[in-house]
Amino acid sequence: MPQWKTKASKRHTALCFAGFGLLAVVFIVVSMLVASGNQAVVDFDHKWISRVQGAEQPWLTQVAETLSWIGSTKMVILIELLLLLFLVLIPKLRWEPLLVLAATGGSALVNLTLKNLFRRERPDIHRLAEEYSFSFPSGHSMGAFALYGILAYLLWRMIRPLPGRIIALALCILLTFSIGLSRIYLGVHYPSDVLGGYIASGAWLALTIGIFEVWRHRRERRFGGYRLP
């Protein structure tokens, strides 16, 4: 492997671990503010709930319900299985399925743990849907961030032309953001739930990718393993 690629890979890996540390600290701060009922968080939540739900229209409700369905556990698992099948069929990507499982499965476990730790009740302002689990952090937001975040990472590595990479990244970001927004619109999550979900899942994703990159490069050096285009 050319020296510049090795140095670039080391920088990217270091950025992953730095991102994990930064996002973990930010999540701790946000979660402490949420748990303490900080007035700034309360004002933030009510301000954005009012703005998002103030745009309520029948067609927007249908869009929000569709996006929420796309972000549901069943759909995330289905999309994940299709992604795993695609990766298994590519010989050069023999270990990437494990990365996908670690990113998405780990995010789900982190979400379940955090929900039961904070036990925050869902908003009771204007419900357009019903949910019965705890509210913080948003499971839909964490699931979407983990799934489409790892998909964006894989596509960025597999797609050569920069415009194609940017389009793939933008689509993954747009879908993740839209799913989180749909949960606020439907009245089943506070904005801070969605924000907390993004931060927590982002931290987990950064850690998972960082560990995978370290393992991948060590394996290439020691065993002459696969190399993506």
Phi–psi pair at 95, nearest 5 degrees = -100, -10
Catalytic choice (12, 46, 189, 217): 189
> In degrees rounded to 5, what are phi and psi of residue 30?
-60, -45
Predicted pLDDT of residue 4:
37
Q: How far apart are the C-alpha atoms of 16 and 172, rounded to whole Å?
A: 19
Annotated catalytic residue 46: no
Residue 12 is a catalytic residue: no
pLDDT digits (tens, 9 = 90+) for 40-51: 999 999 999 999
Q: Burial level of 27, CB count in 10 A (0-12/13-18/19+)?
A: buried
Name the nearest CA neighbour of 145 among 188, 98, 196, 187: 196
Alpha-carbon distance 51 to 44, whole Å?
11
Separation between Cα atoms, residue 118 and residue 190, nearest integer Å: 14
Q: What is the pLDDT of residues 110-141, one digit of tens each?
A: 999 999 999 999 988 877 777 888 999 999 99
- For the ranges 67-76, 92-101, 189-198, the lowest mean pLDDT is seen at 92-101
Tokens of 143: 């699931």
CA atoms within 13 A on the CB side of 56: 12
In the predicted structure, residue 1 carries a pLDDT above the cut 70: no
